[in-house]
Amino acid sequence: MNDLQELYQEVILDHNRSPRNFRAGSTANRDAVGHNPLCGDQVHVFLTVDDEGIVQDASFQGSGCAISTASASIMTEAVQGKTVPQVQELFGVFHALVTGKALPSPEFDLGKLAVFHGVSEFPIRVKCATLAWHTLQAALEKKSVPVSTE
Ligand code: ZN
């Protein structure tokens, strides 16, 4: 394992051990649930989006593997303070990264999200890494049907 992989793993383990924003959103005005039957990951994403379209708060609850929990945790940190179009752009870049369609680019600072680049080598794990994001997308679109990665 090289240093970068080690760092990636460290960040994922840390967020799995102590997930950030792991709570129901008390002020949430959008929420959605998602399920990844392939792995058994479940997530409930809560968002507070203000009148300007800015994400004021993001949180989640659920249970799943380390990748899905860490991804949800890092996602809730990453989207706070962003506008809805910025969140969607971030998801696009993140999705390209985890599916191996793009490399981390210096032009777009993914922050901790870059640690999920390693997931692209494990196709079965891609759904774990993107579940929270698909669920967040559903919350933004106010879909009432639970999200499934299948
Ligand atoms: Zn999983």
How many angstroms is it from 37 CA to the middle of ligand 1?
9
Residue extents of the structural domains in the chain:
3-144
Least confident residue range of 13-22, 50-59, 102-111, 126-135 = 102-111
Q: What confidence score (pLDDT) does residue 61 get?
A: 98
- Which structure tokens are listed for 71? 């991804």
CA of 50 to the centre of ligand 1 (A): 31
* 43, 33 Cβ separation under 8 angstroms: yes
Residues with CB under 5 A from ligand 1 (ion): 39, 41, 65, 68, 128
Give distance in angstroms: CA of 42 to centre of ligand 1: 9
**pTM of the predicted model, to two decimals?**
0.91
Pick the CATH number of 3-144 from 2.40.30.170, 3.90.1010.10, 2.60.40.1080, 3.30.930.10: 3.90.1010.10
Q: What does the pLDDT look like over 31-76, one tens digit per residue? A: 999 999 999 999 999 999 999 999 999 999 999 999 999 999 999 9
DSSP letter string, 58-115? EEEEEE--HHHHHHHHHHHHHHTT-BHHHHHHHHHHHHHHHTTSS---TTS--GGGGG
Residue 71 CA, ligand 1 centroid: distance in Å = 10
Helix axes 84-98, 66-79, angle to 10 degrees: 150
H or E segment to which residue 128 belongs: helix 123-140
pLDDT the model gives residue 143: 65
Kind and range of the H or E element at 2? none
Q: What pLDDT sits at residue 86?
A: 95
Distance 109 CA to ligand 1 centre (A): 25
- Find the 66 Cα to ligand 1 centroid distance in Å: 7
Neighbours of 74 (CB within 10 A): 27
